[in-house]
Amino acid sequence: GAGVSQSPSNKVTEKGKDVELRCDPISGHTALYWYRQSLGQGLEFLIYFQGNSAPDKSGLPSDRFSAERTGGSVSTLTIQRTQQEDSAVYLCASSLGQSGNQPQHFGDGTRLSIL
Protein backbone atom coordinates (compact mmCIF):
# COMPACT_ATOMS: atom_id res chain seq x y z
CA GLY A 1 0.00 0.00 0.00
CA ALA A 2 0.97 3.65 -0.22
CA GLY A 3 3.38 4.97 2.35
CA VAL A 4 3.74 8.44 3.80
CA SER A 5 4.04 10.98 1.00
CA GLN A 6 5.68 14.37 1.35
CA SER A 7 5.78 17.23 -1.10
CA PRO A 8 7.71 18.93 -2.44
CA SER A 9 10.75 16.69 -2.19
CA ASN A 10 13.00 19.71 -2.58
CA LYS A 11 12.34 23.39 -2.03
CA VAL A 12 14.72 26.27 -2.59
CA THR A 13 13.54 29.72 -1.60
CA GLU A 14 14.84 33.12 -0.69
CA LYS A 15 15.21 34.32 2.87
CA GLY A 16 12.07 36.05 4.06
CA LYS A 17 9.66 34.05 1.91
CA ASP A 18 6.96 31.80 3.31
CA VAL A 19 6.98 28.06 2.57
CA GLU A 20 4.39 25.35 2.95
CA LEU A 21 5.30 21.68 3.28
CA ARG A 22 2.76 18.93 2.83
CA CYS A 23 2.39 15.47 4.33
CA ASP A 24 -0.03 12.73 3.30
CA PRO A 25 0.00 10.04 5.98
CA ILE A 26 -0.86 6.39 5.55
CA SER A 27 -4.62 5.96 5.31
CA GLY A 28 -6.11 5.17 8.71
CA HIS A 29 -3.17 6.46 10.71
CA THR A 30 -4.51 8.81 13.34
CA ALA A 31 -1.19 10.06 14.68
CA LEU A 32 1.07 12.34 12.65
CA TYR A 33 4.46 13.81 13.56
CA TRP A 34 6.74 16.46 12.10
CA TYR A 35 10.50 16.38 12.67
CA ARG A 36 13.39 18.51 11.50
CA GLN A 37 16.74 16.97 10.63
CA SER A 38 19.66 19.30 10.18
CA LEU A 39 22.88 18.19 8.51
CA GLY A 40 24.57 15.54 10.61
CA GLN A 41 22.03 15.90 13.38
CA GLY A 42 19.40 13.63 14.80
CA LEU A 43 15.69 14.20 14.63
CA GLU A 44 14.30 17.29 16.28
CA PHE A 45 10.63 16.87 17.23
CA LEU A 46 8.42 19.73 16.06
CA ILE A 47 4.75 18.85 16.52
CA TYR A 48 2.40 15.93 16.93
CA PHE A 49 -1.21 15.51 15.82
CA GLN A 50 -3.79 13.07 17.09
CA GLY A 51 -6.61 13.39 14.59
CA ASN A 52 -6.86 17.08 13.80
CA SER A 53 -5.71 18.18 17.24
CA ALA A 54 -2.17 19.05 18.19
CA PRO A 55 -1.77 18.13 21.86
CA ASP A 56 1.96 18.79 21.75
CA LYS A 57 3.40 21.81 19.95
CA SER A 58 6.36 22.07 22.27
CA GLY A 59 8.95 21.51 19.59
CA LEU A 60 8.01 24.36 17.27
CA PRO A 61 11.14 26.54 17.32
CA SER A 62 9.42 29.90 16.95
CA ASP A 63 6.13 31.58 16.17
CA ARG A 64 7.15 31.59 12.51
CA PHE A 65 6.34 27.88 12.47
CA SER A 66 2.79 26.59 12.38
CA ALA A 67 1.06 23.39 11.34
CA GLU A 68 -2.41 22.16 10.76
CA ARG A 69 -4.13 18.94 9.89
CA THR A 70 -7.49 18.62 8.22
CA GLY A 71 -9.88 15.70 7.89
CA GLY A 72 -7.64 13.63 10.09
CA SER A 73 -5.40 13.18 7.09
CA VAL A 74 -3.24 15.71 5.24
CA SER A 75 -1.02 18.01 7.25
CA THR A 76 0.80 21.17 6.24
CA LEU A 77 3.76 22.73 8.00
CA THR A 78 4.14 26.43 7.28
CA ILE A 79 7.25 28.47 7.89
CA GLN A 80 6.82 32.22 7.60
CA ARG A 81 9.59 34.70 6.89
CA THR A 82 12.13 31.93 6.39
CA GLN A 83 15.64 32.30 7.77
CA GLN A 84 18.81 30.54 6.68
CA GLU A 85 18.82 28.47 9.87
CA ASP A 86 15.54 26.93 8.72
CA SER A 87 17.46 25.01 6.05
CA ALA A 88 17.04 21.33 6.88
CA VAL A 89 15.19 18.19 5.91
CA TYR A 90 11.66 18.16 7.27
CA LEU A 91 10.37 14.65 7.92
CA CYS A 92 6.80 13.59 8.47
CA ALA A 93 5.79 10.32 10.11
CA SER A 94 2.49 8.68 10.87
CA SER A 95 1.43 5.84 13.13
CA LEU A 96 -1.67 3.78 13.65
CA GLY A 97 -2.42 5.24 17.07
CA GLN A 98 -1.08 7.40 19.81
CA SER A 99 0.33 4.63 21.95
CA GLY A 100 4.08 4.55 22.37
CA ASN A 101 4.26 1.02 21.01
CA GLN A 102 3.07 2.06 17.57
CA PRO A 103 6.04 2.24 15.17
CA GLN A 104 6.29 5.33 13.04
CA HIS A 105 6.26 5.25 9.26
CA PHE A 106 8.30 8.00 7.68
CA GLY A 107 8.10 9.87 4.42
CA ASP A 108 11.22 10.67 2.42
CA GLY A 109 11.20 14.25 3.64
CA THR A 110 11.31 17.71 2.13
CA ARG A 111 14.77 19.17 1.74
CA LEU A 112 14.43 22.91 2.35
CA SER A 113 17.19 25.28 1.33
CA ILE A 114 17.02 28.97 2.21
CA LEU A 115 19.24 31.21 0.11
Partner 1 sequence: AQSVTQPDIHITVSEGASLELRCNYSYGATPYLFWYVQSPGQGLQLLLKYFSGDTLVQGIKGFEAEFKRSQSSFNLRKPSVHWSDAAEYFCAVAASGGSYIPTFGRGTSLIVHP
Residues of the shown chain interacting with partner 1 in the complex, contacts defined by CB under 8 A: 4, 31, 33, 35, 41-43, 45, 48, 56, 91, 93, 98-109
- Looking at residue 13, its amino acid is T
Nearer to partner 1, 44 or 80 (CB): 44
CB of residue 96 to partner 1, shortest distance in Å: 12
CB of residue 5 to partner 1, shortest distance in Å: 10
CB-based contacts of 43: which residues, under 8 Å, 6+ apart?
35, 36, 37, 91
Q: At 34, is the secondary structure helix, strand, or coil?
A: strand
Please state, in angstroms and rounded to a whole number, the distance separating the CA atoms of residues 21 and 59.
17
CB of residue 44 to partner 1, shortest distance in Å: 9
CB of residue 10 to partner 1, shortest distance in Å: 10
Please state, in angstroms and rounded to a whole number, the distance separating the CA atoms of residues 89 and 4.
15
CA dihedral 36, 54, 23, 84 (to 10 degrees): -30
Nearer to partner 1, 71 or 103 (CB): 103
Nearer to partner 1, 47 or 114 (CB): 47
Nearer to partner 1, 20 or 56 (CB): 56
